[in-house]
């Protein structure tokens, strides 16, 4: 049975922040000491990020006016913000409750917007009435009834649609979501699964001098992505991706190097400097079972979708696997243009490959807390006679 991803659609918030602006903003905050400011400039400059998106317009305005200029900065009578003092342009540190309220308000809209876009891309072959399963993914906030309920109700899906939410799994959570979708389709050839990932990472930015926080501030961004997956033989809008096989591996070391926890002032990211080295040491072994089962070899796989957790991670994967620069180009472009949006990011990379429409095997992988390495093999099939 062939299970296909018919479409991938991505959505980003309107507010764009430019890396050079946000570098100045964080480096010149009152809470930063001299060493911290140097670390900000080094980490932000070497992150491989040029622009990102955020659901916080005030963050974009503060970045664009840093260093503080009274003539250009927001005025004291501007709309109140829990993140930015409008009189000074200084960043604030709201509590977890305030951050999660903003997550609830903004994530609901993005879940629905991304899901609707994916379904509209597959119409008339697939419509809302055809959806049998919804899988939602997020690690940057919580609310209940959850995103799965919101997507089902706001998109007018059948009342008996089967729902699953994968929460707090981190940057590689799109893989278990896609695997759950493939399992549902293999169990029921008529199944249609809508997968939606939404992450609002900028809600958890902090002004601190420690390396982990600074690196997170340099990389993370907001975005959403959705995909429609089915085994039905229906028209598709263009090229499709067959879901061939999946693999998951827990590295024997590194659990303390990549972690995500709930603090009093938002969620706390641990992004240790040894993560790229751990990935370098274990990525080949993590891929081995997948390649053995499918009979593929790394040199024979033309297209790669590697989660851009940071430039150094991409560098290590490229070097260890002997990949060419052009094979890493989609991942590096996503990192540069929209940053690291946690679980949604790999779908942004896959969307680029799907849009390019080059047929052949695609290897995808991402890394998350644990330290866990998720991977998949997909097969990109070009459109045929108006059908994907």
Residues 281-311 have pLDDT tens digits of: 999 999 999 999 999 999 999 999 999 999 9
Kindly give the parts of the chain with pLDDT less than 50: 70-75, 386-387
C-alpha distance from residue 7 to each of 85, 107, 125, 191 (Å) = 42, 21, 12, 16
Show the tokens assigned to 41.
């400039």
- Please give the Cα distance from 224 to 140 (Å, whole number): 12
Predicted pLDDT at 68: 56
- Please give the Cα distance from 52 to 68 (Å, whole number): 21
The answer to whether 171 is a known catalytic residue is yes
- Please give the Cα distance from 49 to 171 (Å, whole number): 17
Show the tokens assigned to 3.
């299970």
Predicted pLDDT at 75: 47
User: For residue 163, what is the enclosing H or E element?
Assistant: strand 162-167
**Domains of the chain and any CATH numbers:** 240-381 (3.40.47.10)
- Please give the Cα distance from 300 to 316 (Å, whole number): 19
- Please give the Cα distance from 34 to 21 (Å, whole number): 19
DSSP helix/strand/coil, 99: helix
Burial class (CB in 10 A: 0-12, 13-18, 19+), 300: exposed
- Please give the Cα distance from 27 to 20 (Å, whole number): 11
Predicted pLDDT at 77: 52
- Please give the Cα distance from 333 to 48 (Å, whole number): 9
Nearest C-alpha neighbor of 136 from the set 106, 121, 114: 114
Among residues 171, 185, 197, 201, the one annotated as catalytic is 171
For the chain, the C-alpha Rg in angstroms (whole number) is: 21
Q: At what angle do helices 147-154 and 96-122 cross, to 10 degrees?
A: 40
Residues with Cβ < 8 Å from 120, sequence gap 6 or more? none
Show the tokens assigned to 238.
């263009």
Query: What pTM was estimated for this model as a whole?
Result: 0.95
Backbone φ and ψ of 193, nearest 5°: -115, 130
In the block, which residue shows the tokens 């067959």?
242
- Please give the Cα distance from 317 to 252 (Å, whole number): 18
73, 89 in Cβ contact below 8 A? Answer: yes
- Please give the Cα distance from 317 to 349 (Å, whole number): 15
């Amino acid at each position: 049975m062939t299970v296909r991803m018919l479409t991938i659609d991505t959505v980003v918030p309107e507010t764009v922040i430019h890396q050079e602006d946000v570098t100045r903003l964080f480096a010149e905050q009152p809470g930063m000491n001299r060493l911290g400011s140097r670390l900000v400039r080094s980490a932000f400059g070497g992150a491989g990020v040029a622009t990102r998106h955020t659901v916080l317009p005030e963050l974009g305005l503060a970045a664009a006016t840093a260093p503080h200029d009274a003539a250009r900065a927001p005025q004291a009578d501007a709309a109140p913000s829990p993140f930015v003092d409008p009189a000074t342009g200084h960043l604030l540190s709201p509590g977890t409750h305030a951050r999660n309220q903003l997550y609830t308000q903004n994530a609901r809209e993005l879940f629905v917007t991304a899901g609707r876009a994916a379904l509209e891309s597959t119409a008339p072959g697939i419509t809302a009435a055809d959806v049998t399963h919804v899988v939602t993914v997020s690690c940057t906030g919580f609310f209940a009834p959850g995103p799965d309920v919101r997507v089902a109700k706001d998109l007018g899906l059948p009342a008996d649609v089967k729902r699953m939410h994968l929460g707090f799994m981190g940057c590689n959570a799109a893989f278990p979501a896609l695997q759950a979708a493939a399992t549902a389709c293999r169990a029921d050839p008529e199944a249609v699964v809508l997968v939606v990932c939404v992450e609002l990472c900028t809600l958890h930015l902090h002004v601190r001098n420690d390396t982990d926080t600074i690196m997170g501030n340099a990389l993370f961004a907001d975005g959403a992505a959705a995909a429609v997956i089915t085994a039905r033989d229906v028209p598709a809008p263009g090229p499709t991706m067959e879901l061939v096989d999946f693999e998951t591996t827990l590295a024997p070391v590194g659990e303390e190097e990549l972690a995500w926890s709930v603090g009093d002032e938002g969620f706390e990211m641990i992004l240790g400097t040894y993560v790229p080295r751990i990935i370098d040491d274990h990525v080949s072994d993590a891929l081995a079972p997948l390649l053995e089962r499918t009979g593929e070899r790394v040199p024979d796989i033309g297209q790669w979708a590697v989660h851009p957790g940071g430039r150094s991670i991409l560098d290590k994967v490229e070097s260890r696997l002997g990949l060419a620069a052009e094979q890493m180009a989609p991942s590096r472009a996503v990192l540069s243009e929209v940053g690291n949006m946690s679980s949604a990011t790999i779908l942004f990379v896959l969307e680029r490959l799907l849009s390019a429409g080059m047929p052949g095997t695609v290897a995808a992988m991402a890394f998350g807390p644990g330290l866990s390495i998720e991977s998949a093999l997909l097969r990109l099939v070009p459109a045929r006679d108006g059908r994907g």
